[in-house]
């Protein structure tokens, strides 16, 4: 029979069949009970102590009631109706029947119910409070009620999932929804939310797109642009519908910036590129120009040395004498900034391009990933540059043959032998001058990088060619790493590359300061690194690269985040669930264990990009989570066959012979001893 029982006299029975998710969202459930009362009685059996009962069915209701009493919403002696079973043997069956027979409310019914209250004038906040849910949840359900009728009916009938319905709801254009819905009925994987969302948003742009940032929201709206919010994505996420209008506005703004730059700099052209990078093929159509830098004058050299000496003195004082925050320290830092600006001005004065030459040059403007205008630091010309100040070389025409010294023709064999001897002499001297050898190393690699599209014979086997990507034509210009590399390339000093002989280029390169030359060696060496991955024992594994990453203290999570497109949508469901367990433990894994793979990938992406509605601790873990393969955690293993140096330490002459040919015979190749060199000389 039904009787009133005090909540404080109730305890949960061990026979209750619901063992998991008992405490899930108790606060929301408690808010619903507070607003509407207990709409369904508890099922209990009496205990030995008079007036006390154990709850066989309704454990979550009991916890919600206890929460309301603990928080002061309900009085401590609050009573609730309960069905008291006389036979304890039937309690487990009653619990199973109640939980097993319960059917979750269809999202379409929830949408209709919430929309009913909204139509009566209630706000989303009011409805949320009444039913113990979030305001955003109410807004999402109301958006579902506004779906095209054919889609809403399919949701109500259970023909499509909630995730599919949410994918259609990213736009409020019901005509577009209906058209895509019709197309997807016969499409392969037409029931996948990601495919539907792409079809719905085809021809739209996100608010964080570089062009959208560049044009600006106000300018786009003022020009008649339309914006739709996606309630099922991160808060504030928007879709800009009128892409052609956005493209036009971006092109107009960029063209204006290009015209202003061309006029102010006296350039022949400034080409606007409505993208986040200048395409390689576009650059190849032009001639790259490198302005040479003149030597410092005697007065400038004296001034540079004085500024550098003052700079070193101030830095030493800041490190040893001046305390941070004092007036003296602030004055020293201000002076250091002035010195840096003056040194930059002196350096810029050395690279002034003649106005007549500048009038033949041009460059590009493009849109940075942050939405700001960027100017390509390198200069180009449509035709080879003609320098009006270059000396005119007049070749003698005819006659005077006796003035020309006729060289003695040498045999090919003798040429090869003499060249080899001269090479040996040059190598012996260069190997004894480490400083010059280091300059030459950097120079040869830098020249190879600058003139990658030209044939410049350097007579050296040293190369620093960029490694090949394993994916043909792989492009990721939008990533932070690729944008940083492009910025690094533009910051390199190419003033030495404008000279017309290798000798002049080398001398100019050696005249660069240590920082400028260091920038070149860092850039070209970094380009040689091949793609590797911290993944098992595969061919992509290279523990040494992981070692470099740890030395550089690389924080991958600040440069790359896993998304549905680049990771989650391309791995098995178990791997995604493992990631959720890493982030939020078994509870978070269990919450999504029944989700479809496409929905799960989207959820994982949102969570790892800080967009999930979760506790602060879980959000912090999610935004730092990375797949093991992307971490720099691998430890290099010893080679299967230990590397053996060719520089063997010989104890006697026989060991030397063995090192040369492996059998104690004649030296291998064209190696010459001292006697051979003497005879050849």
Q: Where are the domains of the chain?
A: 2-101, 253-381, 421-531, 550-630, 638-681
Low-confidence ranges of the chain (pLDDT < 50): 17, 19-21, 89, 92, 96-97, 99-103, 235-236, 393, 395, 397-406, 650-653, 656, 659-681
The rounded distance, in Å, linking the Cα atoms of 568 and 583 is 15
Q: Are 283 and 289 in contact (CB under 8 A)?
A: no
CB atoms within 10 A of CB 274: 18
CA angle (277 as vertex; 273, 280 as ends), nearest 5: 95
The rounded distance, in Å, linking the Cα atoms of 533 and 630 is 7
Q: What b-and-e string marks burial along 191-209, b requiring 16 or more CB atoms within 10 Å of the CB? A: bbbbbbbebbbeebbebeb
**The CATH number of domain 2-101 is 3.90.1530.10:** yes
Helix then strand count (H, E) for the chain reads: 28, 13
Q: CA separation (Å) from 294 to 93, 349, 499, 519?
A: 95, 9, 11, 21
Q: Which two tokens stand for residue 306?
A: 């004085």
DSSP codes joined into one string, 438-469? HHHHHHHHHHHHHTTTS----S-----PPPPP
Q: Which two tokens stand for residue 13?
A: 């029975």
* pLDDT at res. 411: 79
* pLDDT at res. 624: 92
Which helix (DSSP H) or strand (DSSP E) does residue 363 occupy?
strand 361-367
Which helix (DSSP H) or strand (DSSP E) does residue 57 occupy?
strand 53-57
CA angle (494 as vertex; 488, 500 as ends), nearest 5: 155
Q: Which two tokens stand for residue 588?
A: 């978070």
* pLDDT at res. 402: 46
Q: Are 524 and 448 in contact (CB under 8 A)?
A: yes
* pLDDT at res. 237: 64
């Amino acid at each position: 029979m039904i009787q009133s029982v005090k909540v404080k006299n109730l305890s949960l029975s061990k026979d209750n069949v619901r063992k998991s998710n008992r405490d899930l969202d108790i606060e929301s459930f408690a808010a619903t009970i507070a607003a509407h009362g207990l709409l369904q009685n508890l099922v209990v059996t009496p205990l030995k102590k008079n007036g006390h009962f154990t709850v066989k069915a309704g454990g979550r209701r009991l916890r919600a009631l206890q929460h309301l009493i603990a928080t002061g919403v309900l009085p401590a002696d609050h009573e609730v109706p309960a069905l008291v079973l006389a036979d304890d043997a039937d309690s487990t069956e009653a619990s199973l029947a109640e939980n097993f027979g319960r059917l979750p409310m269809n999202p379409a019914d929830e949408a209709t119910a919430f929309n009913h209250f909204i139509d009566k004038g209630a706000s989303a906040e009011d409805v949320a409070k009444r039913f113990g849910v979030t305001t955003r949840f109410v807004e999402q359900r109301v958006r579902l009620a506004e779906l095209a009728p054919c889609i809403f009916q399919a949701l109500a009938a259970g023909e499509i999932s909630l995730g599919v319905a949410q994918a259609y709801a990213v736009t409020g254009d019901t005509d577009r929804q209906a058209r895509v819905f019709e197309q997807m009925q016969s499409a392969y994987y037409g029931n996948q939310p990601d495919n539907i969302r792409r079809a719905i948003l085809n021809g739209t742009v996100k608010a964080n797109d570089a062009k959208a940032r560049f044009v600006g929201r106000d300018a786009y709206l003022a020009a008649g642009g339309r914006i739709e919010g996606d309630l099922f994505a991160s808060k504030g996420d928007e879709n800009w519908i009128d892409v052609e209008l956005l493209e036009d506005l971006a092109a107009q703004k960029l063209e204006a910036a290009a015209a202003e730059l061309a006029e102010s700099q006296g350039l022949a052209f400034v080409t606007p590129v409505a993208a986040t990078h200048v395409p390689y093929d576009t650059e190849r159509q032009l001639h790259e120009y490198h302005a040479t830098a003149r030597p410092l004058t005697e007065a400038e050299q004296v001034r540079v040395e004085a500024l550098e000496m003052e700079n070193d003195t101030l830095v030493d004082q800041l490190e040893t004498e001046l305390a941070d925050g004092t007036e003296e320290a602030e004055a020293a830092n201000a002076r250091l900034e002035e010195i840096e600006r003056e040194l930059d001005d002196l350096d810029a004065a050395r690279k002034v391009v003649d106005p007549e030459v500048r009038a033949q040059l041009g460059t590009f403007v493009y849109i940075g990933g942050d939405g700001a205008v960027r100017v390509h630091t390198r200069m180009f010309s449509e035709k080879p540059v003609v320098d009006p100040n270059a000396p005119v070389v007049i070749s003698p025409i005819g006659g005077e043959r006796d003035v020309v010294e006729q060289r003695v023709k040498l045999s090919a064999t003798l040429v090869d032998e003499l060249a080899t001897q001269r090479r040996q002499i040059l190598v012996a001297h260069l190997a004894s001058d480490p400083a010059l050898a280091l300059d030459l190393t950097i120079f040869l690699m830098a020249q190879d990088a600058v003139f990658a599209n030209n044939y410049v014979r350097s007579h050296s086997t040293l190369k620093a060619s960029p490694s090949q990507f394993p994916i043909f034509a792989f492009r990721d210009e939008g990533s932070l790493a690729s944008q940083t590399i492009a910025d690094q390339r533009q910051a390199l000093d190419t003033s030495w590359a404008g000279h017309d002989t290798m000798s002049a280029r080398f001398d100019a390169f050696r005249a660069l300061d240590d920082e400028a030359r260091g920038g070149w060696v860092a850039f070209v060496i970094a380009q040689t690194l091949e793609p590797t991955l911290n993944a098992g024992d595969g061919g992509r594994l290279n523990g040494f690269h992981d070692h470099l990453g740890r030395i550089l203290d690389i924080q991958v999570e600040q440069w790359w985040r896993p998304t549905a497109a680049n990771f989650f949508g391309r791995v098995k469901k178990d791997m995604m669930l493992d990631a959720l367990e890493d982030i939020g433990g078994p509870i978070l894994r269990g919450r999504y264990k029944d989700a479809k793979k496409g929905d799960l990938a989207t959820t994982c992406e949102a969570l790892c990009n800080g967009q999930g509605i979760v506790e602060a601790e879980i959000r912090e873990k999610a935004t730092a989570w990375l797949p093991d393969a992307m971490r720099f955690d691998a430890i290099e293993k010893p080679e299967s066959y230990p590397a053996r140096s060719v520089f063997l330490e010989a104890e006697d002459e026989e060991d030397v012979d063995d090192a040369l040919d492996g059998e104690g015979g004649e030296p291998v190749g064209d190696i010459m001893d001292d006697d051979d060199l003497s005879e050849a000389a």
